Amino acid sequence: MSTRDASRLIRLFALAGLGILLSSCQTRPEIRTQAAPQADLASYHTYGFMPKPSTDSAGYKTITTQSIESAVSREMRARGYTLVPPSQQPDLLVNFAVKTHDKVESRPGATVGVGYGWGWGRWGWGGLGDYYNDIRTVTDGSLTIDVVDRERNEAVWSGTAVGRLTKKVLDNPGPAVDEAVADIFAHYPKKSAGELH
């Protein structure tokens, strides 16, 4: 192998390592959950979905709703619950909401140096140009899933995932929805093996 080929191979491995490092630095959504006092989630056996979640404000079932329902069903089945239609009055109803929030922030490591003094024959402010170049608008999104006791009409468990909505997520939200729902339900109280059916 020539010195030139060896040098290219080293650069290739370095780039691959950088890619792995960057992908491992991506943060997962922040998860918050809470359960109602004395809630016994093992006592429930069936579930259904609320007829009009917030993602269906236009009067029809959106693709977002379909994606969330599919991911939630996967998690509920894995915990021993059975999906039944509303006419059969399920023990639990699942509701969910999606919200976004825009905010302005400075890029990491940006510094602001503002000074007032004499320069080029006049007094004036300096240093703001770099500050404004380091400002950006970002969008955070949240997905909240509520599990409701249908008979009492009270939430018994709730989980929320909060994370940054990148262009990649906005262009293809399906994988992000799956990940967020899985991360939320990772905190759901587990049934014992004898309680699964």
What pLDDT was estimated at residue 186?
A: 95
Q: Residue 136 contacts by C-beta under 8 Å, 6 or more apart in sequence?
A: 104, 105, 106, 107
3-7, 15-19, 34-38, 107-111: range with highest mean pLDDT: 34-38
**Mean pLDDT computed over 19-41:** 69
pLDDT at 11 over 90: no
Q: State the pTM of this model.
A: 0.68
> Model confidence at 18, in pLDDT bands (50, 70, 90)?
very low
Structural domains present in the chain: 28-106+134-195 (3.30.160.670)
pLDDT at 80 over 90: yes
State pLDDT tens for residues 138-189.
Answer: 778 899 999 999 999 999 999 999 988 778 877 888 888 999 999 999 999 8
The helix/strand count (H/E) of the chain reads as 5, 8
